[in-house]
């Protein structure tokens, strides 16, 4: 089933009845008449992810909510909304309700995508880039989210990001000073490819990935001096039995290295699995990578290119922090912060869903489309049709999706790369 055939499924998840039902499941339903009922407040929080003014502070968010009521309830007199009322809504609405919406959308999205046909990615069930990014917070919650700097508060978004689907599949929010290595992202599912930097370097982690019959690519830690135990080409036979530090002079006339190594020096180490060390001479500097992918089709150059895909998660962090304004978190309690985070993630995922459908309809790749332009198109349509969407039926959502997808397909392609002289 292609993405373009699942408009009804996405619409069912986002309809007014579906959101109200999920709110009841998480105990955040409207038990009495309020100014801020659950469905409008949900959508306005999601929409605030792109509006730079509301992301500035609570008073600006109040102004955004108040003005939006005239669109949601046209003809009705706009009533006042206090900062306290909105603050209580943020702190009192269980953030797991927002995560529930996100997870439902994510499951539907992943199940609707066609299998990736790119040759090397097709060898794996999925490919995940893993990394973390720090966001500064109001210093009044320093006791909850400790920063590496004194008198500051900061959180870290520990993220497992699908390179294939361009979506977050696991998110862990911790205090900013917590080390990356404590993020548990490995599953027992086999044939998964993990790409991570040196913050996640761990023999224990390597062992878990191997035991799960999955794969990884990581840069080689500078303090690690692996022992060469076998070579893939007889021209390197003289390197066997030596450590990497001992052969660097022998690499002067080479452009790549491909050998089997043992990482640990300790005889008592529990990790004795032999791994593959590949090296690429890039711009006059050697770059070394460790992996358990031994298939000869994955040449050193291919391993290097696979690892370079990890950069996609850095682009994600830039998009969500700067385009979706998540660098401006104003909440002063953990629940409100989590609501802000998942509001932005829902908006991000909705844009990815729209671009995936536009890509399939036009025979292009998702990466051919500008995320920033797609966000602007989606936001503009959303604001204009806010009332219909908040009280939306499945039919209204389907019609809305179709219009947005058509607009993205026509207006959001990235410009062609400039020709080099």
pLDDT per position as a tens digit, 30-53: 766 666 788 888 998 998 887 755
According to the model, what pLDDT value does residue 85 have? 82
**Residue 118 pLDDT level (bands cut at 50, 70, 90):** low
276-295 pLDDT, tens digit each: 999 999 888 999 999 999 99
Query: Which pLDDT tens digit goes with each residue over 47-58?
Result: 888 775 556 678
What pLDDT is attached to residue 1?
A: 45
Q: How far apart are CA 421 and CA 401, in angstroms?
A: 42
78-82, 174-178, 183-187, 192-196: segment of lowest average pLDDT: 78-82
pLDDT for residue 420 = 52
Which whole number is the average pLDDT over 66-76? 76
Rounded mean pLDDT of the chain? 86
Mean pLDDT, rounded, for 293-298: 93
Residue 88 pLDDT: 85
What is the band of 267 on the pLDDT scale with cuts at 50, 70, 90? low
pLDDT of res. 2: 57
pLDDT tens digits, residue range 301-341? 999 999 999 999 999 999 999 898 888 888 888 999 999 99
pLDDT on residue 75: 64
| 3-state SS track over the chain | CCHHHCHHHHHHHHCHHHHHHHHHHCCCCCCCCCCCCHHHHHHHHHHCCCCCCCCCCHHHHHHHHHHHHHHHCCCCCCCCCCHHHHHHHHHHCCHHHHHHHHHHHHHHHHHHCCCCCCCCHHHCCEEEEEEEEEEEECHHHCCCCECCCCCCEEEEEEEEEECCCCEEEEEEEEECCCCHHHCCCCCCCCCEEEEECHHHCCHHHHHHHHHCCCEEEEECCCCCCCEEEEECCHHHHHHCCCEHHHHHHHHCCCCEEEEEEECCCCCCCCCCCCEEEEEEEECCEEEEEEECCCCCCCCHHHHHHHHHCCHHHHHHHHHHHHHCCCCCCCCCCHHHHHHHHHHHHHHHHHHHHHHHHHHHHHCCCHHHECHHHHHHHHHHHHHHCHHHHHCCCHHHHHHHHHHHHHHHHHHCECCCCCCCC
Kindly give, in sequence order, each residue whose CB lies less than 8 Å from that of residue 143, ignoring residues fewer than 6 positions away. Answer: none
pLDDT in tens, 352-378: 999 999 998 888 988 899 999 999 999
Contact 29, 100 (CB under 8 A): no
Taking the C-alpha atoms of residue 228 and residue 260, their distance in angstroms, rounded to an integer, is 6
Q: What was the pLDDT predicted at 314?
A: 95
pLDDT at 5: 64
- Which phi and psi (to 5°) does residue 318 adopt? -65, -45
pLDDT of 268: 61
Q: What is the pLDDT of residue 26?
A: 93
Could you tell me if 169 and 324 are in contact, meaning their C-beta atoms sit under 8 angstroms apart?
no
């Amino acid at each position: 089933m292609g993405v373009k055939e699942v408009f009804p499924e996405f619409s069912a998840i986002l309809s007014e009845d579906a959101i109200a039902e999920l709110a009841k499941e998480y105990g955040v339903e409207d038990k009495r008449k309020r100014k801020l009922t659950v469905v409008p407040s949900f959508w306005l929080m999601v929409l605030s992810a792109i509006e730079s003014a509301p992301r500035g502070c609570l008073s600006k968010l109040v102004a955004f909510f108040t003005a939006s009521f005239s669109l949601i309830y046209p003809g009705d007199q706009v009533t006042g909304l206090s900062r306290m009322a909105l603050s209580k809504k943020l702190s009192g609405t269980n953030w797991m309700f927002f995560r529930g919406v996100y997870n439902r959308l994510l499951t539907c999205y992943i199940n609707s995508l066609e299998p990736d046909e790119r040759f090397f990615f097709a060898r794996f069930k999925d490919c995940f880039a893993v990394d973390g990014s720090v966001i500064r917070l109001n210093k009044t919650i320093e006791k909850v989210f400790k920063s590496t700097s004194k008198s500051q508060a900061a959180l870290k978004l520990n993220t497992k990001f699908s390179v294939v689907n361009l979506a977050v599949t696991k998110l862990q929010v911790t205090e900013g000073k917590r080390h990356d290595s404590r993020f548990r992202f490995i599953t027992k599912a086999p044939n998964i490819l993990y790409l991570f930097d040196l913050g996640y370097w761990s023999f224990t982690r390597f062992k878990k990935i191997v035991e799960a019959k999955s794969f990884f690519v990581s840069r080689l830690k500078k303090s690690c001096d692996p022992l060469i135990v076998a070579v893939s080409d007889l021209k390197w036979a003289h390197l066997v039995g030596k450590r990497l530090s001992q052969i660097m002079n022998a690499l002067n006339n080479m452009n790549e290295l491909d050998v089997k190594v043992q990482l640990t020096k300790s005889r008592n180490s529990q990790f004795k699995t032999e791994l593959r060390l590949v090296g690429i001479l890039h711009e006059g500097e050697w770059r070394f990578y460790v992996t358990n992918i031994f298939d000869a089709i994955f040449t050193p150059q291919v391993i290097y290119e696979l690892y370079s895909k990890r950069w996609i998660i850095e682009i994600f962090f830039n998009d969500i922090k700067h385009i979706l304004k998540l660098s401006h978190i104003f909440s002063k309690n953990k629940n409100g912060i989590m609501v802000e985070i998942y509001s932005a993630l829902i908006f991000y995922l909705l844009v990815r869903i729209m671009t995936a459908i536009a890509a399939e309809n036009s025979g292009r790749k998702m990466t051919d489309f500008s995320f920033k332009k797609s966000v602007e198109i989606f936001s503009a349509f959303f604001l204009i049709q806010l009332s219909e969407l908040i009280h939306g039926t499945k039919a209204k959502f389907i019609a809305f999706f179709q219009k947005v997808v058509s607009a993205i397909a026509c207006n959001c392609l990235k410009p062609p790369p400039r020709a080099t002289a």
